[in-house]
Amino acid sequence: MSNFKPNYFQRREKKYGPRANEKIRALDVQVIDSSGNNLGVLPLKKAIETAKSEDLDLIEISPNANPPVCKIMDIGKYKYDLQKKANLAKKKQRVVSIKEIKLRPGTEIHDYNFKLKNARKFISKGDKVKFTVKFKGREMQHVELGKNLMQRIVEDTKDIAKVETHAKFEGRQMIMIIQPN
């Protein structure tokens, strides 16, 4: 009896990039040569031989097509270009966060101006701002104070922002979201 024990925890090879050369599964492939000319549908072996004769690889570009589309090019350069595109897309993406500013119906003018200044700073950075007016106890009888406050915010920020979600009640608080123009 042998002492062979299978290693259940060994690393599996990660699939990285497109299939190339012998890893292509289709029998017939649509081939595009290195200069961009369409060579038509060829058997896989002939397509690989054509690529090898040019000292290049046969790379599966569109595996879901029928037959799959393959191009003759250098696999290293192709993977490098894909990585460059991915990095550029990642660099260009912008994560928009929502900053929250909490107010009360009786917020004094100085506090209001200070919070509005912060809201303008957030909007200039490209973030959305969520204004929350909380009502406690008997303040619920004066909902119009909260509505007036929200309307004042809209008027004071209309030059740099627009309303995404208009003021609405959720329980004992009024919520409004504004976003940059």
User: Looking at residue 64, what is its pLDDT?
Assistant: 87
3-state secondary structure the chain: CCCCCCCCCCCCCCCCCCCEHHHCCCCEEEEECCCCCEEEEEEHHHHHHHHHHCCCEEEEEECCCCCCEEEEECHHHHHHHHHHHHHHHHHHCCCCCEEEEEECCCCCHHHHHHHHHHHHHHHHCCCEEEEEEECCHHHHHHHHHHHHHHHHHHHHHCCCEEEEEEEEEECCEEEEEEEEC
Domains of the chain: 21-76 (3.10.20.80), 98-180 (3.30.110.10)
- The mean pLDDT value of the chain amounts to 89
User: Looking at residue 95, what is its pLDDT?
Assistant: 80
pLDDT per residue over 19-41, tens digit each?
888 888 888 999 998 888 898 99
pLDDT per residue over 46-105, tens digit each?
999 999 998 999 999 888 888 899 999 998 898 899 899 999 998 888 788 999 999 999
Confidence grade of residue 127 (pLDDT, cut at 50, 70, 90): very high
